[in-house]
Amino acid sequence: MSKQPKADRTSDGVPAADAQPGPTTTGSILESFEARVTPFSPVEVSSALGRLRRELDDAGQDILFDLQAEWLAATFIPDYVGQGGKRSAWGTYYGPVSGAPGRDGNWIGFPGIDEVTPEVLEYWDRRAREARHPTLRARYGDVAWDFGRRLKIDVSSDLPRIAIDATVECAEQKLFEHCVEGFRQLDRALRLALSLRDAERIARVANTLIAYEDQTAEDRLAGTWGFAFDTLVQNRPKGLVLPVEVTEKIVADLEGRLARLTQPVEPGTLAEPFKVERAAARLASYYRKVGRTADVRRVLGIYGDAFGQASQNASANLAAGWLERVADVYRDFDLHAEADALAVVIQELGPRRVSEMKPVSSSVEIPMDEVERYIAPITTGTIEQVLVKIAAHFFPRRASWRSKSTKWRASRCSVLGSLDNSSTMMAVWLRRWDLWTRTGRVIWFSNQHRPWL
């Protein structure tokens, strides 16, 4: 339980007058990050503060307000929905580290939004101005603004500007731990600037994003480039106006990268077609949008040639899979003649695909007496009796389903994930049928009757 800080105690619960240098405190942890000249992420801050929280908890000491507030700021996950998180009822950019639906169906997150009190927001608001390191300033300003708006609690109006400026400073000083993190935070800064309609900061963030990609991109590392194109050209947000020459520069940079990627890394080797695809697909989409049909055909031709050359040294099955992928892209861009020509090549690979297939087999020996003992009880009697016995034997018991349903509800796990494979396949098949019981066993299921849900 979080408590307000007491003036006569440090954050580790020791009276201020008796505190000795050396033990880890909230202040010492924060100061270690304030003094860092190498990149770090809020995750590191969260981990360090989390260790202190556990130590205090194990020692039976209070987790005081400043420690809790700092830990919350560093722990909430940015771009929660963009990273695959379920859309909770929060409606915020930041989300919990983990969560699950509660008994009432509402989403429960950890940490929870109920922990963000007016006092916590006031603390973050102040820390956004006090912190010296831009990574910390950016986080304090952003979380305070994000949750303040969601909770309808007044916070300083300049918090988003603090977050934007600190993010730009991080990019200029190369303080992001990974370039992907830098691109994500710059995208966030751009969205904030657009929401404020701050033309000066919009232009500054856009230019910083372009410069940051120029500094960090590596042709052979496909995850390090394309962000400026995606954010500023292909998916340009409403309200962002770029000078024509800036757009032309971004497109020209991607064209240059495409040209370099078509060249082999070393003499005698082939180009890497999947990296060629990442550049060509972006350019083709852009050229189609602006009506440059000839350029669409040109860049997709480069893409198709890269896979065509690579397929010559691949197995027939792999080559056919690659070329079918290229043919689908051709059709998506209305290059039907090229797709039809590729279909002929794929068809010619047919005999090679068959010849390259190798039989794979395995055998299991079951003693005949075991087989007889298993089937004898359910195969005696009339045909009607045998059919009923077989059905009753192989269908799950209703009590078993109810037991699994109870366990599923308790653990909030997917029922199908908790069942064995045979039961899962049976459940899927049985959804077509109606429910009724015979001798205490579940015989039929339907979409309207699912005792396991």
* CB distance 270 to 313 below 8 Å: yes
Both 419 and 297 in one domain: the answer is no
Both 44 and 93 in one domain: the answer is yes
Within-domain flag for 419: yes
* Nearest alpha-carbon partner for 306 in 335, 329, 331: 329
Q: Torsion over CA of 426, 429, 431 and 434, rounded to 10 degrees?
A: -90
Within-domain flag for 372: no
Give the pair of three-digit tokens for residue 332: 């998506």
Within-domain flag for 315: yes
Report pLDDT for 253: 97
Looking at the structure of the chain, the number of domains it has is 3
Which region among 138-147, 248-257, 270-279, 386-395 has the lowest average model confidence (pLDDT)? 386-395
Both 173 and 104 in one domain: the answer is yes
Both 343 and 437 in one domain: the answer is no
Within-domain flag for 46: yes
Residue 52 domain boundaries: 1-216
65-75 vs 26-34: helix crossing angle, rounded to 10: 40
**What is the DSSP annotation of 400-430?**
HHHHHHHHHHHHT--HHHHS-HHHHHHHHHH
pLDDT at 6 over 50: no
Within-domain flag for 356: yes
The residue out of 311, 343, 361 marking a domain boundary is 361
Q: pLDDT band at residue 405, thresholds of 50, 70 and 90?
A: low
Q: pLDDT higher for 384 or 125?
A: 125
Q: 243-282, pLDDT tens digit by residue?
A: 999 999 999 999 999 999 998 877 666 678 999 999 999 9
**Range 367-390 average pLDDT:** 88
Ramachandran angles phi, psi of 67, nearest 5°: -65, -45
* CB distance 208 to 231 below 8 Å: no
Both 183 and 248 in one domain: the answer is no
Both 42 and 150 in one domain: the answer is yes
Both 284 and 328 in one domain: the answer is yes
Q: Residue 237 carries which DSSP code?
A: P
Q: 26-64, pLDDT tens digit by residue?
A: 999 999 999 999 999 999 999 999 999 999 999 999 999
Report pLDDT for 322: 95
